[in-house]
Amino acid sequence: MEPKVLNAVTRPGPDAKHFAVRATVKGYTRYTYHNQPFPGMIASQDPEEIVEGLLVFGHSDLELHRLDQFEGPEYPRTTLQITVHARVPAQFTMNMTHDYESETTLDAYAYVFTGPLEHLDLTRPWDYEAFKIEHLSNWMTIDDTFKSMMERTGN
């Protein structure tokens, strides 16, 4: 998820301690949701296909609840095998006793699209860079969800 979107959704408090790292999930792909700028991640027919993104450590239960509400019923929070591509300090790991080294694969949450496949344009793989350039700022200012989130946070 784009960091600006993530922060608008989770509204972390001033004491929040998060750590984000580039990560990948193998065996998945993303397609554009019909008539929307956002994606749906689904299992790929190619088990070697990779989806790139960020893995964020340190979310509170409230922040996870806000993400669940934002993603809605078509995107349930799912545990997947995700590979991190940088070291993760021990303070953010599950047992908090040792770092996760770069290229470690671990169980982590992701939001996987489970709605009807006809809601996705399977001819248009989703492009994160194009989303940032063409849609991000406009989407965050006109979407009712973001309007209400921004009003609540004063952003």
The two tokens of residue 80 are: 């997947």
Q: How far apart are the first and last CA of the chain?
A: 19
Among 41-50, 109-118, 124-133, 140-149, the range scoring the smallest mean pLDDT is 140-149
The identity of residue 91, as a single letter, is Q
Tell me: pLDDT of 138 over 80: no
Looking at domain 3-150, does it have CATH number 3.90.25.10? no
d(CA 9, CA 150): 9
What's the predicted TM-score (pTM) here? 0.84
d(CA 76, CA 155): 27
Give 64-71 contacts, CB < 8 A, sequence gap 24+. Answer: 64/109, 66/9, 66/10, 66/11, 67/6, 67/9, 67/10, 67/111, 70/9, 70/145, 71/111
20 against 149, higher pLDDT: 20
Predicted pLDDT of residue 72: 92
Predicted pLDDT of residue 153: 45
Among 22-36, 44-58, 103-117, 122-136, the range scoring the smallest mean pLDDT is 122-136
Contact 120, 31 (CB under 8 A): yes
d(CA 111, CA 23): 14
Contact 150, 143 (CB under 8 A): no
β-bridge pairing 105-111 and 19-26: unpaired
